[in-house]
Amino acid sequence: MPAYKAAAAKNDYVFSITANSAEIADYINDVSVNNSAFDTMFTQVKTYNGPSEGTSQIKQVPTGFVAEVDPRFAVFASDKFLSKMALKE
C-alpha cells in the first residue's frame, strides 16, 4: 500500500470523509482487490510504527461523539458484529 502510505503522510495521517472520500474509496478497493487475506469491513490496517499515539490530531468531532485518547477494539467486545473487528499490521 505505498500509495496509501504516501497519501497518509501528506494528510498528516488524518483523512476527511468530505475532502478525501475518493481517495478513501480507492484505498479500500485496492486492499479488497489486491489482498484477499482480510475482510475490509472488519479489518483495520495499522499504517504506523510503534504504539498508537492516540487521537490528539482530531480537533473536533460531531456532537455526541468522543475522540478516544487510547482507542481499543475491546469497546466493541459485546457487539454481535463489531466484535469481529481486528487490527492487521
How many Cα atoms sit within 13 Å of 64 on the Cβ side?
0
Other Cβ atoms closer than 10 A to 27 = 20
Task: Round to whole Å and give the CA distance between 27 and 3.
Answer: 8
Indicate the pTM of the whole model: 0.41
Three-state secondary-structure class, residue 43? strand
Q: pLDDT, tens digit, for every residue of 61-71?
A: 888 888 777 77
Report pLDDT for 54: 67
Q: What is the dihedral of CA 3, 76, 86, 53, to 10 degrees?
A: 50
Q: Is the pLDDT of residue 77 over 80?
A: yes
pLDDT in tens, 15-28: 777 877 888 787 77
